[in-house]
C-alpha cells in the first residue's frame, strides 16, 4: 500500500485543468498510419503532442510539473504519456483537446517502437 500512495499523489498533481470550452481545439485530428506495424515517426507523434498536450504541458505551460516542450521532454516522459494518454485515457483531462482513439493508438505505437526522436 505505501507504494501506491506516491503514484496516487503523482496522478493527482499531474491533472490538467483548463477553462477553455471542450468544443475548441487547436487543429484537426492527426491521421494515424494505416498499418499498425508501420513505423511512427517523431514528427507524427510530436504533431499529436503539440495539438493535444501542449495547451497544458508546453509553450510555457507546465501543469502538474510536466513539460512536453522539447523533443527530449517528450521522449523522457514517454512512459507517462503512454500510461495517461494511451492506456488509461485520463489525459487530456476530460479530453479537452479532443484526442482521437487513432491518435492515442499512434502515440502508443511510437512509444512501443522506442520513442525515437530521430
SS3 content of the chain, % helix, strand, coil (to 5): 50, 0, 50
Q: What is the number of structural domains in the chain?
A: 1
Asked if residue 115 belongs to a domain, the reply is yes
pLDDT band at 62 (very low <50, low <70, confident <90, very high): very high
Distance (Å, rounded) from C-alpha 107 to C-alpha 118? 15
Asked if residue 63 belongs to a domain, the reply is yes
pTM assigned to the model: 0.71
The one-character DSSP state at 73 is H
Least confident among 4-13, 46-55, 90-99, 106-115: 4-13
Q: Contact, 18 vs 95, CB < 8 A? A: no
Asked if residue 97 belongs to a domain, the reply is yes
Q: Which residue has the higher pLDDT, 60 or 105?
A: 105
The HSE-up count of residue 80 (CA atoms within 13 Å, CB side) is 19
Amino acid at each position: 500500500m505505501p507504494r501506491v500512495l506516491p503514484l496516487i499523489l503523482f496522478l493527482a498533481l499531474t491533472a490538467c485543468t483548463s477553462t477553455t470550452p471542450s468544443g475548441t481545439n487547436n487543429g484537426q485530428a492527426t491521421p494515424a498510419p494505416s498499418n499498425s506495424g508501420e513505423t511512427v515517426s517523431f514528427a507524427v507523434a510530436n504533431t499529436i503532442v503539440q495539438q493535444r498536450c501542449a495547451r497544458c504541458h508546453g509553450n510555457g505551460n507546465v501543469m502538474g510539473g510536466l513539460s512536453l516542450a522539447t523533443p527530449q521532454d517528450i521522449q523522457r516522459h514517454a512512459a507517462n504519456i503512454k500510461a495517461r494518454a494511451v492506456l488509461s485515457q485520463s489525459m487530456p483531462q476530460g479530453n479537452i483537446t479532443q484526442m482521437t482513439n487513432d491518435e492515442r493508438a499512434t502515440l502508443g505505437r511510437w512509444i512501443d517502437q522506442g520513442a525515437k526522436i530521430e
